[in-house]
Structure 1
Amino acid sequence: MRKTVLIADDHPVYLLGLRTLLQAHSERYEVLHEASTTDQLIDKLQQQPADIIITDFSMPGERYPDGRALIQHLRRQWPDSTVIVVTMITNPALLASLARLGVHAVLSKNSLSTELIAALKTSEMPTRTRAGKTAPSVKEALSPKESEVVRLLLRGMTVNEISSLVNRSKQTISTQKNSAMRKLGATSEFELYQYAQKIGLDS
């Protein structure tokens, strides 16, 4: 059965790109709605909810012009919909915040052509780490310093800020972050935040 999809972006080129990517997989995904403002997005979902919502983080609109507030509303009103955010922003605090809100994936607009379909496919898989490990065993595998680095990343701190705070070199912090990502099976910082939350490192 095909999944219904809403795509939203205020830039026509990116909206066309999203539509084209999904039409190439029309046997799996049906573009149900298109929107270029937050108002259109909300109105169309109220008319007919979609299985998957793919939205730009920053769009104009009278309602929910703030991206984070928009995502909060979407997760609250349509909790059964998979939400994927596309953005040019790579701020660690934003990524951690979106992970806490339950966003399935955050994709860079520069790599949509390679990442979007892969992200959609993972949304249909059981929730677990890519390494196939259960959360408790992975948590125990992290060293105390790796866990510390991940907790600070979840607070929105950068590698440089963590380095200054804990008095370790930037290279050491990066190595510990990459080691934690490998153990958690995360392929991006956003996935690291998601998996870390699932094993309770945000507490």
Structure 2
Amino acid sequence: MQQQIRVVVADDHPVILFGAESALLKFPGIQVVARARQSTELVKVLQTTPCDVLVTDLAMPGGQYGDGLPLVGYLRRNFPGIPIVVLTMLENPALLKRLRELGAIGVVHKSDDLSHIGLAIQHVSRKLEYLSPQVKVALDSLRLNNGGKNDEVILSKRELEVVRLFVSGLTIKEISEKLNRSIKTISTQKNTAMRKLGLDRDSELFQYAQSNGLLNLSSHVVDESGAAEPSADAMND
């Protein structure tokens, strides 16, 4: 008899938890052994419950260990033997690419059929990557747009400062007053940052900031002379 794949499912929305578990009923070789609704619960479960695969939402605020890309990085460092399937609404290809770089071997878009969760679990349990159709489309668009290059996104200290303040809820005018810079300068720095990140709309910038834990928008920033220096997050890692 084939051994069942033991799965932990984490999502802060009960409806998603229920939907995911219902979809997995069609896969008799998969058993949900525990659930979590935020990162504190999730880490405790992983410390106490043997499992073969973790299925987790990307945006799951409220826990001690955060959410988004920082949480994925934490899980990979502290539970390297447990393959991760990430559930997400992300469509920005740069973010999806970063997810894979952090070690999320399975990525399922929530707009795709829930059966892809089961398929992803089957794949990652065998150390095989699985990307749902919507995720593949987004990543294909990235390859087409940059010819497959792997360029690192670098924001200047001032651009990063403006982005942090903007996603915290301040308007361009309020940021201008706070930093004692002109509205035109603040607007230009925000737009430059968005262009570097490949983002077109403010909603994408908010999504990007949330997924990166607000303070992890780039692996490093550059000072005004052009010299590279670690970001606050890089120094804290």
Distance 1:110 1:74, change over 3 A: same
- The within-5 A match list for 1:137-156 is 149-152=147-150
Partner residue of 2:124?
Answer: 123
**Pair 1:73 & 2:74 matched:** yes
Partner residue of 2:41?
Answer: 40
Structure holding more helix per residue: 1
Cα drift, residue 65 of structure 1:
1.9
> Normalising by the residue count of structure 2, what TM-score does the alignment of the two structures yield?
0.53
For the Cα contact (< 8 Å) 1:96–1:154, is it kept in 2? no
Q: Secondary structure at the match of 2:111?
A: helix
Partner residue of 2:111?
Answer: 110
For the Cα contact (< 8 Å) 2:53–2:125, is it kept in 1? no
Question: Any unmatched runs of 5+ in structure 1?
Answer: 130-144, 163-203
Q: Secondary structure at the match of 2:84?
A: strand
Question: Any unmatched runs of 5+ in structure 2?
Answer: 131-142, 155-194, 197-237
Aligned length: 143
CA RMSD of the aligned region, Å? 3.0
Cα drift, residue 127 of structure 1:
4.7
Cα drift, residue 40 of structure 1:
0.8
Cα drift, residue 91 of structure 1:
1.4
For the Cα contact (< 8 Å) 1:58–1:65, is it kept in 2? no
Distance 1:9 1:77, change over 3 A: same
Q: Secondary structure at the match of 1:62?
A: coil
Out of 3, 7, 10, the position equivalent to 1:8 is 10
Q: Secondary structure at the match of 2:32?
A: strand
AA in 1 matched with 2:80: P
Distance 1:127 1:153, change over 3 A: farther
Partner residue of 1:175?
Answer: none
Distance 1:35 1:124, change over 3 A: closer
Distance 1:126 1:48, change over 3 A: closer
Q: Percent of pairs identical after alignment?
A: 31
Cα drift, residue 125 of structure 1:
4.3
- The within-5 A match list for 1:1-203 is 1-25=3-27, 27-125=28-126, 127=128, 149-152=147-150
Distance 1:77 1:50 in 2: 14
> Normalising by the residue count of structure 1, what TM-score does the alignment of the two structures yield?
0.61
Distance 1:21 1:28 in 2: 13
For the Cα contact (< 8 Å) 1:9–1:55, is it kept in 2? yes
Distance 1:153 1:78, change over 3 A: same
